[in-house]
Chains A and B, each alone.
Chain A
Amino acid sequence: MNSGGSSATVEVEHLTKIYRVHKRPPGLAAAMKSLLRRRYEEVRAVDDLSLSIAPGERVGFLGPNGAGKTTTLKVLSGLLHPTAGKVRVAGHVPQERQAAFLKRITLVMGQKQQLLWDLPPSETFALNRAVYDIPRVQFEETLEELTRLLEIGEVVGKPTRQLSLGERMKCELAAALLHRPEVLFLDEPTIGLDVSMQLTVREFVRRYNERFGATVMLTSHYMDDVAALCPRVVVIDQGKLRYDGGLAELVRTRRPEKRAVVGFERPVVRAELEESLGGMGRVVEHSDGKAVIQVRQSDLKAALAMVLARFPVADLTVEDPPLEEVMRELFAGEKPR
């Protein structure tokens, strides 16, 4: 039930969120002074942000620490009132926090948990069944499915405090999705998890999205999460929109080069390799039996042909530059538009 004929699930128009923060220098004198006179400063966490997300989309929300990602997610989930601008999620104004809205969304925060600490996750599930008013049959079906997909059958009966971080996060996801929300806001859902658990969570989010057609907005510092899950990324920095579009396109426009990882049958001298490349590219990593060569897309064929012809190549793969590097460059170089 979207308003104004729009088919978007998330609509953000000129969103601005300003925090008023008490500021004082360190030390006892400053502490005493602040008793009499307080200095406040305004922090513009989100600055004139506009974006729109269609139903069923998976969007990566990226930016350096303090960029305003979490603040935006909190506004979208109704926890914060915007200072200015309009926001609609699933046809609702989030800050009104209507029950019908809260039943259609979920916000999973990797650093915070809703699971009751001293009780088994099954108690939190029962609590959520009651507060979300989930019909018992639907609850049992969903719980069975989530338990199977997340492989948490063994742990739901143990007190939460005795679970590992990965087990807790999987149960956290189950608790957050029992009411089958249409919109998932995931704030660093894989933080602190090992690689295999990250993979499990990622795969699960993808399956949930495909199974229920849910819209997913994800922040993560692990670029692998974003690369694996999100065809579209929104990049913000200092609260301002820096990029909104396809992930592949972002990589292509920011770093048009490709990387060739070449394994050699015997050691190759770096200088010889660089000299042979001429102006086509450069060697970015080198060890006795291996080199990573960065080459312009247009010169890729020629460069590879040259390397194959002149050097004892044992193994060759071509890949995009690491997403982390692309992001680092994006945050470091470009001014807000």
Chain B
Amino acid sequence: MTMRAALRAYPTLLRVGLAEAVAYRAEMLVWMLTTTMPLVSLALWHAVAESGPIGRFGPRELTSYFLAGLIVRQVTSSWVVWEMNQEIRTGTLSLRLLRPIHPLLGYSAENLAALPIRGALSLPVALAMLFLGGSEGVSRFLDDPTLVPMLIAALVGAWLITFLLMCAIGALGFFMESSSSVFEVYLGLFFALSGYLFPLEFLAARAPWVMGATRALPFYYQLGFPIELMLGLLDRRAALRGLAIEWAYVAFFYLLATRLWRLGMRRFGAYGA
């Protein structure tokens, strides 16, 4: 299918994906709850920060950080690895392969289609809390409109890294019996190194080299970077450098995922279907 034909088909894929997402109401709610961990982290770190700020982060800054984290998680999450694993193992991937559109495009539409609902249900609460908190970061963000396009680019990049990285892990299912164990390893690294459990700046005093390493790894660009951009914690130069690294990772994971897919297709057994 040509790219033009794929683009013509994409709105319908999104519409049908949204209809499916609405059909799976209970499942959707449970999945959304799994991305509310930042609220737990917020409660913990809030308690710690009450006895004195940690670096730049007092209780108010921490509130902003984790609520922004909740927003970024909601709008950049993807669950394609589970679907790919299941479909490769059971052979139901065959049904996707028979359609004249690349299966990764189909998966992307299904994942993106659910985002409006996730956003609609979670954003108002988080935004209201952010504004009521009167965080300096928020006002700085609103005062500088040039941050808007950068933030959009950072969020799109974060989603693409997450989606493509999951596609790459999912495609490992062609080579091993299940790639979900690899995904568990990824998840551990993501939690530790993305800024999910705590702002990575906390590492600056005690383990500066670890913090330096996080800037070179992809996980920070999936979460910590868009949060910091959203809260105005980065100057223009740091933001542009971050975007360049983030999009380089997008390109890298695109090549990795598509390469693994092509190699994996040769090994696909289409068992059971």
Same complex for A and B? Answer: yes
What A residues does B19 contact at CB under 8 A?
Answer: 119, 123
Is B97 touching A118 in the complex (CB atoms < 8 A)? no
Partner of A79, one of B97, B101, B177: B97
Give the interface of A toward B (CB within 8 A). 19, 22, 74, 77-81, 97, 99-100, 102-103, 106-107, 109, 111-114, 116, 118-119, 123, 126-133, 159
A119→B2 CA distance, assembly (Å): 28
- Chain B nearest CB from A330 CB (Å) reads 27
Give the B interface residue count (CB, 8 A): 31
Partner of A19, one of B9, B16, B94, B269: B269
What A residues does B265 contact at CB under 8 A?
Answer: 81
- Chain B nearest CB from A50 CB (Å) reads 22
A126→B16 CA distance, assembly (Å): 8
Task: Tell me the interface secondary structure of chain B in the complex.
Answer: helix
Is B23 touching A80 in the complex (CB atoms < 8 A)? no
- Chain A nearest CB from B127 CB (Å) reads 31
What B residues does A131 contact at CB under 8 A?
Answer: 1, 9, 12-13, 99-101, 106
Is B20 touching A116 in the complex (CB atoms < 8 A)? yes
- CB nearest to B91 among chain A residues: A112
- Of listed A100, A102, A106, A131, residue having the most chain B CB within 10 A: A131
Partner of A130, one of B9, B91, B269, B273: B9
- Chain B nearest CB from A15 CB (Å) reads 15
What B residues does A127 contact at CB under 8 A?
Answer: 12-13, 16
- Chain A nearest CB from B225 CB (Å) reads 35
A74→B13 CA distance, assembly (Å): 25
What B residues does A118 contact at CB under 8 A?
Answer: 20, 23-24
A74→B50 CA distance, assembly (Å): 64
Q: B268 at interface (Cβ–Cβ under 8 A)?
A: yes
What B residues does A106 contact at CB under 8 A?
Answer: 98
Contact mask for chain B residues 109-141; partner A; CB cutoff 8 A; 1 contact, 0 none: 000000000000000000000000000000000
**What total count of A-B pairs have CB within 8 Å?**
82
Is A114 touching B16 in the complex (CB atoms < 8 A)? no
What B residues does A109 contact at CB under 8 A?
Answer: 94, 273
Q: B32 at interface (Cβ–Cβ under 8 A)?
A: no
Is A133 touching B1 in the complex (CB atoms < 8 A)? yes
A123→B113 CA distance, assembly (Å): 15
Q: B266 at interface (Cβ–Cβ under 8 A)?
A: yes
Given contacts A22-B177, A127-B16, A159-B23, 20 further A-B contacts (CB under 8 A): A74-B94, A78-B97, A79-B270, A97-B97, A99-B1, A99-B5, A99-B101, A109-B94, A112-B91, A114-B95, A119-B19, A119-B20, A127-B13, A128-B99, A129-B12, A130-B8, A131-B100, A131-B101, A132-B99, A133-B5
Q: Given A74-B270, A118-B23, does the pair A112, B94 have CB atoms closer than 8 Å?
A: yes
Q: B36 at interface (Cβ–Cβ under 8 A)?
A: no
- Chain B nearest CB from A290 CB (Å) reads 45
Partner of A119, one of B23, B99, B106, B270: B23
A103→B101 CA distance, assembly (Å): 10
CB-CB contacts below 8 Å: B183-211 with A? none
Q: Given A127-B13, A130-B9, A133-B1, does the pair A80, B268 have CB atoms closer than 8 Å?
A: yes
- Chain A nearest CB from B26 CB (Å) reads 12
What A residues does B41 contact at CB under 8 A?
Answer: none
What B residues does A133 contact at CB under 8 A?
Answer: 1, 5, 8-9, 100
- CB nearest to A120 among chain B residues: B19
Q: Which 5 A-B pairs have the closest CB atoms?
A: A130-B12, A99-B100, A118-B23, A130-B9, A102-B100
Q: B178 at interface (Cβ–Cβ under 8 A)?
A: no
- CB nearest to A21 among chain B residues: B269
A103→B5 CA distance, assembly (Å): 13
Could you pull out 8 A-B pairs where Cβ atoms are within 8 angstroms? Answer: A80-B269, A81-B266, A102-B98, A129-B12, A130-B9, A130-B12, A131-B1, A133-B5
A261→B15 CA distance, assembly (Å): 60
What A residues does B95 contact at CB under 8 A?
Answer: 112-114
A22→B177 CA distance, assembly (Å): 10
What A residues does B9 contact at CB under 8 A?
Answer: 130-131, 133
- CB nearest to B267 among chain A residues: A81
Is B270 touching A80 in the complex (CB atoms < 8 A)? yes
What B residues does A81 contact at CB under 8 A?
Answer: 265-266
CB-CB contacts below 8 Å: B17-46 with A? 19-20, 23-24
Is A77 touching B98 in the complex (CB atoms < 8 A)? yes
What B residues does A112 contact at CB under 8 A?
Answer: 91-92, 94-95, 273
- Of listed B5, B98, B270, residue having the most chain A CB within 10 A: B98
- CB nearest to B177 among chain A residues: A22
Is A79 touching B94 in the complex (CB atoms < 8 A)? yes
- Chain B nearest CB from A145 CB (Å) reads 22
- Of listed A22, A74, A106, residue having the most chain B CB within 10 A: A74
What B residues does A116 contact at CB under 8 A?
Answer: 16, 20
What B residues does A22 contact at CB under 8 A?
Answer: 177
A132→B13 CA distance, assembly (Å): 12
- CB nearest to A71 among chain B residues: B270
What B residues does A126 contact at CB under 8 A?
Answer: 12, 15-16
- Chain B nearest CB from A38 CB (Å) reads 10
- Chain B nearest CB from A46 CB (Å) reads 13
What A residues does B5 contact at CB under 8 A?
Answer: 99, 133
